Chains A and B, each alone.
Chain A
């Protein structure tokens, strides 16, 4: 699938980005079309890129077959699999599947290193920052709900419970 700067320019993510920057960006992105049911990322497979959803809808899932559990859905403008940008030799911790015909643009780390002054890349990086920050906050909130205050009852004040509290607190405190 060929990527065209006009197409990217229609996305809210790239609003205000000069056409020349979008043209340059297109030269570094790889377009991919997926049919319904086609897998974009396989859980456990090497992670070497991330994907920007252009059209369609994809689901993020853990497990396979009838045991698969959908944990998120991705829509146009969403970025998926950014872990592939940061880690050498990392693997996908979830699978991603097209639930309808979908187009994505694949992003590789080299693109970021090659285009430090491209305003389209700036938009992608800011989008990533916001979505990762949201995810950290959301996970912290979930963990905070799981955290239980120390109880006055002797049974609940066991050393094991204290250990769990310590563990949850140590996770919760990493995002000041």
Chain B
């Protein structure tokens, strides 16, 4: 399985208006990252491990899996190329929050910590494209989570009209609740105080 990296760069940037629209710099970054292929079922990263790499998923798709308190595995998302996998471990040096497994043959380009540090601190076009792609990606993740916590039943905001609907977001790469599931949520006991705290944290990006 091969991937046209120029096309991958173009598609990666298509959903990120914060990044300059010229994908050539990102193409150059991808070219400099070593290619790594995974067979079906191979693990890219494990939950609760420390990571020194992130991946540009350039072909194929991966499953994102988490374990609950009883150690049962749950599929929480299926991510299709092109996308970014596992950048948080490089940004804040914390443990992986999920396991990522190849779902069929997968081709990635791997950015290791050394290359990340070099690029993310560089006042170059390539550095700017990487930082802004990551920023935009984190922002989308925050927005999605914010919107979904709101849907989960965070308390109504006092003294204000209902917020306007969120603007159109790029196609999500995680599963979204359907209407019936959202209705069901009102029937269960949600730990409201904690959902409220999470909502507050996510609201501080203004």
Contact surface of A with B, Cβ cutoff 8 Å:
41, 43-44, 47, 50, 60, 62-69, 71-72, 80-94, 96, 109, 112-113, 116-119, 121-122, 125-126, 128-130, 132-140, 142-143, 145-150, 158-161, 163-176
Q: Least Cβ distance of A61 to chain B in Å?
A: 9
Q: Are A149 and B68 in contact (CB under 8 A)?
A: yes
Q: Are A146 and B77 in contact (CB under 8 A)?
A: no
Would you list 6 pairs from A and B whose C-beta atoms are within 8 A, ordered by A residue?
Answer: A47-B206, A64-B159, A121-B128, A125-B128, A139-B201, A175-B141
Q: Least Cβ distance of B26 to chain A in Å?
A: 13
The answer to whether the Cβ of B144 comes within 8 Å of any Cβ in the partner chain is: yes
Pick the interface stretch among B1-9, B32-40, B146-154.
B146-154
Nearest-CB residue, chain A, relative to B86 = A176
Cβ proximity bits B103-137 to A, threshold 8 Å, 1 near / 0 not:
00000000000000000111111011001101110
Contacts of B191 in A (CB 8 A): 145-146, 148
Q: Least Cβ distance of A67 to chain B in Å?
A: 4
- Contacts A86-B136, A93-B206, A150-B72 given; does A62 touch B145 at CB 8 Å: no
Q: Are A62 and B148 in contact (CB under 8 A)?
A: no
Contacts of A148 in B (CB 8 A): 191
Q: Are A163 and B123 in contact (CB under 8 A)?
A: no
Which one of B45, B88, B145 lies within 8 Å of A171 (CB-CB)?
A: B145
Nearest-CB residue, chain B, relative to A85 = B18
Q: Are A116 and B125 in contact (CB under 8 A)?
A: yes
- Dominant SS among interface residues on chain A: helix
The answer to whether the Cβ of B28 comes within 8 Å of any Cβ in the partner chain is: no
Residues of B within 8 A of A (CB-CB), count: 81
Q: Are B68 and A174 in contact (CB under 8 A)?
A: no
Contacts of B69 in A (CB 8 A): 147, 149
Q: Are B131 and A81 in contact (CB under 8 A)?
A: no
Q: Are A94 and B204 in contact (CB under 8 A)?
A: yes
Additional 13 contacts, C-beta under 8 A, given A44-B163, A121-B123, A146-B198:
A67-B159, A69-B158, A116-B123, A121-B128, A126-B121, A133-B88, A135-B201, A136-B145, A137-B97, A146-B190, A163-B177, A173-B77, A176-B99
Nearest-CB residue, chain B, relative to A40 = B206
Q: Least Cβ distance of A90 to chain B in Å?
A: 5
Q: Which of B20, B194, B204 has the most CB of A within 10 A?
A: B204
Q: Are A117 and B138 in contact (CB under 8 A)?
A: no
Q: Are B206 and A173 in contact (CB under 8 A)?
A: no
Nearest-CB residue, chain B, relative to A143 = B198
Contacts of A87 in B (CB 8 A): 139, 143, 167
Q: Are A94 and B185 in contact (CB under 8 A)?
A: no
Q: Are A142 and B198 in contact (CB under 8 A)?
A: yes
CA distance A176 to B148 in the complex (A): 18
Contacts of B200 in A (CB 8 A): 62, 69, 71-72
- Contacts A166-B74, A167-B152 given; does A173 touch B98 at CB 8 Å: yes
CA distance A167 to B184 in the complex (A): 11
The answer to whether the Cβ of B85 comes within 8 Å of any Cβ in the partner chain is: yes
Contacts of B174 in A (CB 8 A): 170, 173-174
